[in-house]
Amino acid sequence: DHDSHVVQELDGIEQRFDIALIGFLVLSAAAVLFALGAWKLFVTRTVVALNQMTDAMREIAAGRLDVPVPASERHDEIGAMAEALSVFRDSLVETTELRAQQIEMDAANLRLMSEIQEALSVQAARLDAEVAEKTGELADREREIVWRLSRATDRRDTDTGDHIVRMSRVCGIIAEGLGLPEEESRMIEIAAQMHDVGKVGIPDDILFKPGKLTAEERAVMETHVLLGWQILKGSKSPLIQLAADIAYSHHERWDGNGYPNRLAGDAIPLAGRIAALADVFDALVSERPYKKAWPLDEAREFIEANAGEHFDPDCVVAFLARWDEIAAVIDPSPSSTRGASIAA
């Protein structure tokens, strides 16, 4: 009986062991299945979240900055990534807004600069017009002063006063014939009106003497070039400076036998060389108490014959090339001009 009882106990233990083992195996299998299910759920949620974040990143990279960032409520690594992506997106939004504001400000600045430039251009044009007007007024006044002073000087001479008008106009024509710019030619024409301003200092008994001057009287008369230069020198006006050169040099000769400095050739100022020819020519064709007026053709022949001696050859060439205009200055009647041209 004892042995059978032992056997029964052993059988019971084996049965309980088998039941326990089966229960353990079942529980283990259930635990594994649960773990696998939980892991699959975790992996699935993670992969989905990562895919959603990847899609969001693509949208943000494409410039669609209003896209929501997924998984931002999570408190794990994916949530941290979502938070970082949100910060990045918000930074891009802010940068885009700032860039748009900068573009708008740049456009506004460009418009403002354009408006300012236009206003400055208008102002500059107005100022240029005012300066040109004032400069013109000053030039007109300067020329009027030259004219009035030259007329006052001419009253100290022995002719009617037309000499200055004719001589200065001939200077302008010769200057044009030499190819000088229009403004420079005009300046020479105006400045030449002052060529004899120094005669205001010559005594009347010499200046108005009807006969031939003595050597002593001639020496006094020749001082008018120095007197004229002294009157005109030192001016800041280019016109008066030019007039001073003409007053001082219009009795110099190309061959060096003139006065006051016996200058020769190109050493004589160009304006002085022009004035020398014009002054002699008008003196020849003008009637004076001590001589009759020369005919135009004879005066022209004298000028041509003295090229390279008394006169600058280039000035003579310009004089001859513009002969019809010069003849018309001396005698504006058509018949005289034609006659002079034929005689030439």
CA 249 to chain centre: 38
Catalytic residue among 199, 209, 236, 292: 199
- The DSSP secondary-structure symbol of 311 reads B
Exposure string for 308-322, b = 16+ CB within 10 A, e = fewer: eebbbebbbebbeeb
Burial class (CB in 10 A: 0-12, 13-18, 19+), 132: exposed
Would residue 40 show up in a list of annotated catalytic residues for this protein?
no
Strand partners, 307: 311
CB atoms within 10 A of CB 187: 21
> What amino acid occupies position 234?
G
Distances 101 to 95, 106, 107 between C-alpha atoms, Å: 10, 9, 10
Contact by Cβ (8 Å): 89, 63: no
Q: Which two tokens stand for residue 107?
A: 């456009």
Contact by Cβ (8 Å): 215, 192: no
User: What residues are annotated to the active site?
Assistant: 199
